Amino acid sequence: MSVGWTQVALAGIWGGLVAVERKAFLQAMFSRPLVAATAMGMLLNDVPSGLYVGMLLELFHLGTANLGASLPDNDTLSATGTSAAAATMAAATGAGSTPALWSLAILLFVGLGRVGRLVDRALESHSARLARKALASAEAGQLTRAMRQNLWGMWPHFVLFGAVTATCALVGFFLGPLLERLPLPVLRGLAWAYPAMGSVAASIAVAGSHARRAPVYATVGAGVVVVGMVLFELKERL
């Protein structure tokens, strides 16, 4: 097994950049799961993994919002880490991306959202301290120093979240060969788990919209996904 260190480095850089974009710079929605994961797939030459992982996680986290003192799960880290792991697993197997692979990556790394929330909380005091220093510098007329202090406040987000994302990509290279050893029934079960998780995520997204008939829409959406996958499976067998 050979590790693609370039892919690991690219994953870390992108993970760090969107972490900064999410909290401190630009905030143009590049950090949303669908965008962040799809871009990760493009960087790692596996757009399907990035797209399908990002699509599911976008639905899963659609109802969350960073409002006031509320600090939700870090959907960006969940998306970048999971998509990076999925892409490198596919690269390690050499067989391309599959629903079974996406399911395994999501099951293993979706918990990164909570890890990211803990890191965000730990960095809040550091960022607040630097913000106070920058404000004092600006009030004293030291604008260059104030700008430098604000920029330094972004580095911990870039370094920490980038390191976690790079680690996920590295782990994916080691998990790839193990995936090939799984029995066929397990792989088939993982493949069916992806549309099942997609149905659950869609239901969560609809319920979070507080629409008048949200349960009905969620049920219909889940049914459409299941029927579509059944038809696709039957077509593959014929």
Kindly tell me if the per-residue pLDDT of 36 is higher than 90: yes
- pLDDT higher than 70, residue 202: yes
Mean pLDDT confidence for 86-100: 88
Residues 118 and 156 in one domain: yes
Give the domain-ending residue among 138, 163, 181.
181
* pLDDT tier, 68 (very low <50, low <70, confident <90, very high otherwise): very low
CA 53 vs. chain centroid, Å, equals 8
Per-residue pLDDT at 72 exceeds 60: yes
Residue-wise pLDDT for 42-67, tens only, equals 999 999 999 999 989 988 887 655 54
Burial 51-84 (b: 16+ CB within 10 A, else e): bbbbbbbbbbbbeeeeeeeeebbbbbbbbbbbbb
Looking at the fold, whether 75 and 150 belong to one and the same domain comes out as yes
Residues 71 and 88 grouped into a single domain: yes
Q: Going by C-beta distance under 8 Å and a sequence separation of 6 or more, which residues neighbour residue 46?
A: 86, 87, 90, 91, 97
Q: Does one domain contain both 97 and 199?
A: no
User: How many distinct structural domains can be found in the chain?
Assistant: 2
Co-location of 96 and 36 in the same domain: yes
Range of the domain at 196: 183-238
